[in-house]
Structure 1
Amino acid sequence: MYANTVLDSQQRSHEGTLTDVLALQQPGSDAVSLEQLFAAGYTNCFMKALKSVAAEVPALIPAESSITADVVLDQNSASPALDVELSISLPGLDREVAAALIGEAHLACPYHEVAPGKVAVRTVLL
């Protein structure tokens, strides 16, 4: 499992290796994996979708908001698939409003349509 956090629009991998994106990942290396890159793209895209949906309500996404994506490549099935959990923190925002915005952002984020049936996504409001 690999994790990536987006704080507003700044990317940070938990392993601190996101800057080395061009290296090929070898066992035991510090190179960035495809799962990490997917997590980085997804969290950034989801935050933009969340802000876009919130602007229509209007609601303000708190500056301290964060999204963490845990991405696992499931190679045990007949065809590889990704399992994604988005943990979303929207401190100070009413939970009902936050849950509604997350639902709308999930549909608005282009990653939602990346590979229907190949990417299982769960959203968790922290």
Structure 2
Amino acid sequence: MVLSTFAFWLSHVVASAFYPAAGPLPRVSGAPVQQGVARELFGHVTDFTGAPLAGATVAVEEDRKSSVITNSVGKFLLVSPQRQPQLRISSAGYYDTLVAVTTLNTSIEVQLRPIDRYKRKLKKQYKAANKAWKN
């Protein structure tokens, strides 16, 4: 039942993306409807030079289950149950960033700050591990 409901919902979402006249998703019997609770948050994550960051994690701070990973051009789309969530954006080699979302229907632009000498530390750890492995 759950899988068929999800498949129906997914097909309707895809259809409505290509055919806007498809209308809203009908209510499935037994499923409670909460108006205006979930929000779609979208945006773009870049590094300090403005290059897109693929694979960065974007999560709602209050609800870690609500998280996504940015695509190849640094964009994300996240559904949040909170009305004014705080987003935690993280990526390897960059400091975590907290962003408070207060406005509706605006793109969230986030620029992550790199950790100094991150690659140098990784290289040092790799050499130590490689040396230990060979012994």
TM range (shorter): 0.3 to 0.5
TM-score by length of 2: 0.32
Task: Specify the structure having the higher radius of gyration (Cα).
Answer: 2
Q: Which protein, 1 or 2, shows the higher relative CO under an 8 Å CA cutoff with sep ≥ 6?
A: 1
TM-score by length of 1: 0.33
More helix by share: 1
